[in-house]
A and B are shown apart, each in its own frame.
Chain A
Amino acid sequence: MIWIHLSELAVDRLLAGELAAGDEAAMRDHAADCARCGALLDDALAVQRTFVPDESPLRFVTPLPAPRPFADRPPRRASTFGVIAAVAALAAGLAVALTWPHANADGSVRTKGAAIVGFFVEHDGQIRRGAPHETVMPGDRVELFTTALEPVWFAAISDDARGLRNVYVAPRRVEPGREQLLPVATELDDTLGTEVVTGVFCESAFDAGTIDPDAPPHGCSVDHFTLVKVSR
């Protein structure tokens, strides 16, 4: 390969160790004789040396996708919230999370294979376990965890007080186990009021944008919790 001038991409590949030995040597030789390319390489090396991965990507805040109108679904029935709160309490407690079957708050039996979503709230650096109708504030971070007996696909979607839906967690495969913390967190926006977060669990991959939490398709189950967002 003939190097006329080093491109930024070529430098990236050099530092990543992706180039063949001959190409790498040719690049370094060229950089030694070319002021422009030498400066480019020196700059890249300096950034690499000084780069401090000060924030683990696992702690990166999930930027919320652009909200889309919540036009396709009727408003939640009031009676649903009682169920949501009770299920959320179940999720928060997790006392018998892996001992199926057990009863849901609505009296139904959670069958083997059903799964639970729970959450933690980080507020001003303090982390607490989420409770039913947890009071939260804009800027707080919500971290979700799941409890499942089998590998399952999971997504979390949220319906806020304005009736807008956000995808908190895009569909991803989660492993079985108790309180498996998801590696993403969501920073809450400034929309005040009640926000219902629905965890959707499916046997196979699915599209979170089209699923209806009130009528999950065959092979899927849902679990909810409610946040009550108040101003700071």
Chain B
Amino acid sequence: MTGSELEQLYRDHGHAVLRRAKRLLRDDDDARDIVQDVFLDVFRHPERFAARSSIATYLYSATTHACLNRLRDGRNRTRLVAIETAGRSHQSPARGETRAFACELLAGLPADEAALAVYLYCDELTHEEVAGLLGCSRRHVGDLASQLRRRIMERVA
């Protein structure tokens, strides 16, 4: 990737990365740091993108992971989901419980599962969208979601 390509990518998609990071981190300065990290990472490791998904999808995933890495502190991760949960009065009680459990669990999840929990419970993405983010089939996403749900239930039990 050349410098001018990076510049163009930043101009075209920087706003989306910034918005995503602000939403997850709730901190403007941290979000701007994430924007830098994400675009520098693309610049340094263009092979990670490698056109396996759309660039918007890739940046969404990369930003999520970058934010979760920033939120290594479990309490912060919990805060992330708690914030996301608040104000969503439209959700059913059962769904609300699942969210709350995911909130508790998020702190202890490995990075990939934490990202999956965010996609499913915070972002409410469809399995098709998650499949695009993870680069796998919808069926596999279903399996991963079931595993995650089981883990949540085991934790609750």
Contact = CB atoms under 8 A, between A and B. Distances in A.
Interface of A: 4-5, 7-10, 12-13, 15-16, 18, 36, 43-44, 47-48, 51, 53, 55-58, 60-63, 170, 172, 183-184
Nearest to B54: A18
A172 B39 CA distance: 16
B151 interface: no
Interface footprint category on B: 35 or more
B125 A9 contact: yes
Contacts of B133: 9
A47 B6 contact: no
B85 interface: no
B125 to A, nearest CB: 5
B7 A57 contact: yes
Given A16-B54, A18-B54, A60-B36, A183 B15 contact: no
Given A51-B18, A183-B43, A58 B6 contact: yes
Given A51-B14, A51-B18, A60-B39, A9 B56 contact: yes
A176 B3 CA distance: 16
A37 to B, nearest CB: 12
B43 A7 contact: no
A5 B54 contact: no
A15 B12 CA distance: 9
B13 interface: yes
Contacts of A8: 19-20, 23, 60, 123
Contacts of B126: 4, 7
A97 to B, nearest CB: 22
B120 to A, nearest CB: 11
Contact of B15 (A7, A47, A58): A47
B17 to A, nearest CB: 9
B11 A61 contact: no
Nearest to A63: B37
Contact of A53 (B11, B19, B90, B132): B11
B129 A48 contact: no
A16 B13 contact: yes
Interface in B51-98: 54-57, 59-60, 90
